[in-house]
């Protein structure tokens, strides 16, 4: 189980990380890279929520929950009135992971417009049932 917040952009990519770790049982989440690496195969639940400030005029933005660099779930928002659009986008779902699988939030459009810092963006995951 892990939960981290305070979104920041991974340098040179469209991926994001959550450097402030609130809990990280097993140390499977790497706050420097923003990647959870599966150590115990099984059924997992992941959730991510990202916030954008209203002062940024970007039109739309999206990010994905990704497994092994493959996009799995999309978080998307299209602004109707970009000058007054404070928003949060969220995705969550269950996945079966094998040992060594990597889960992260990334492939974002316009990541520099996302709200960095603060506790309003997070990434979290939990092992629901290990394989036996």
What's the pLDDT score for residue 86? 63
Domain borders along the chain are 2-130
Residue 131's CB: how many other CB atoms inside 10 A?
11
What's the pLDDT score for residue 46? 98
CATH class of 2-130: mainly beta
| pLDDT 10s digits, 22-54 | 999 999 999 999 999 999 999 999 999 888 765
Dist CA 112 CA 90 (whole Å): 18
14: phi > 0 → left, psi -120 to 50 → alpha, else beta; which? alpha
**The pair of three-digit structure tokens given for residue 103, joined into one six-digit string:** 């889960």
Dist CA 113 CA 58 (whole Å): 7
What's the pLDDT score for residue 47? 96
Beta bridge partner(s), residue 14? none
What's the pLDDT score for residue 65? 95
Q: What is the mean pLDDT of each run of 10 residues along the chain (132 residues)?
A: 88 84 97 96 95 64 91 78 66 97 89 66 95 91
């Amino acid at each position: 189980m892990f939960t981290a917040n305070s979104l920041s952009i991974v340098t040179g990519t469209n991926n994001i990380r959550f450097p402030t770790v609130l809990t990280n049982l097993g140390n499977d989440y790497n706050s420097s890279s923003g990647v959870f690496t599966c150590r115990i195969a099984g059924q997992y639940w992941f959730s991510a929520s990202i916030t954008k400030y209203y002062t940024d005029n970007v039109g739309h933005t999206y990010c994905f929950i990704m497994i092994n660099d493959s996009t799995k779930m999309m978080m998307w928002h299209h602004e109707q009135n970009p000058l007054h659009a404070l928003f949060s986008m969220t995705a969550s779902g269950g996945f079966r992971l094998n040992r060594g699988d990597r889960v992260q939030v990334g492939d974002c459009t316009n990541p520099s417009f996302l709200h960095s810092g603060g506790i309003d963006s997070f990434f979290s995951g939990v092992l629901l049932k290990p394989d036996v």
